[in-house]
Amino acid sequence: MTNYYVEQNGIIKLFDTDKQKIKDTLLFMPELQGLEIKETQRPITASNDYTHFVFADTQEYLAEALQKAKETKISEINSLKEAAFKAGFYFNNAHFDCDDRAQIRLSAQLAIAKLQDTIVWLDYDYNPINFTYEEFVNMCAVATSIVSNIEFETSTLLSAVESAESVAELELLSINYDAVVTQIQQNTESEETNE
């Protein structure tokens, strides 16, 4: 695609793919009148601070774009991870959460669970669920496994983000945390069936 632009002191001040629009705009910009309208096949985009335009194929621009895309991808991954923790998991047909607070509560309860005949635990909707010690230990194991797998998958994905060499490569990186949780739950259910 052909881009037309006006450059002043080495800075692109105006560009468009339509040369006539550049000519029309220059009529209202006396500070740029008399400057040559140049033609290029190179891509042009707004600068990071939106004060002028830059060629979008320079090493500097591509490096900045990649860094910005990495920061966006890391934020997206961390948000998805936290949402997966908050979404929780199912155990014995009850829904439980496994966010940071739930992990702390589970660890604390597990430490004293052996002293109790019945462990009453609140599900995702704050309904009390009764567990035997063995059931509670199994539920904690599922929660721990889910958290560990989510953290592992996140770490693997974040490493891939850091080593990505292009924005296109970053766009290919994704994760489905629901699939991670579902797989663990299915493995747990099949282990219980086999016992």
Q: pLDDT by residue (tens digit) across 50-84?
A: 889 988 888 888 898 899 999 999 999 999 999 99
Q: Please, what is the angle between helix 133-163 and helix 100-113, to 10°?
A: 150
Instruction: Write down the pLDDT at residue 172.
Output: 92
Output b/e per residue, 85-99; b: 16+ Cβ within 10 A.
beebbbbeebebbbe
d(Cα 80, Cα 88) in Å, to the nearest integer? 13
Smallest CA-to-CA distance from 138 within 177, 94, 170 is with 94
Instruction: Write down the pLDDT at residue 25.
Output: 93
Q: pLDDT by residue (tens digit) across 6-15?
A: 999 999 999 9
Tokens for 95?
């829904």
Instruction: Write down the pLDDT at residue 60.
Output: 85
Look up the pTM and report it.
Answer: 0.69
Enter the DSSP assignment of 176: -
Taking the CA atoms of residue 176, residue 178, residue 181 and residue 185 in that order, the dihedral angle to the nearest 10 degrees is: -130
Residues in contact with 136: Cβ distance below 8 Å, sequence separation at least 6, in sequence order:
109, 110, 113, 119, 121
Please check the confidence at residue 193 and state whether its pLDDT lies above 70.
no
Q: pLDDT by residue (tens digit) across 106-162?
A: 989 988 988 888 999 999 999 999 999 999 999 999 999 999 999 999 999 999 999
Distance of CA 147 to the CA centre of its chain: 17
State the average pLDDT for the chain: 90
Instruction: Write down the pLDDT at residue 13.
Output: 94
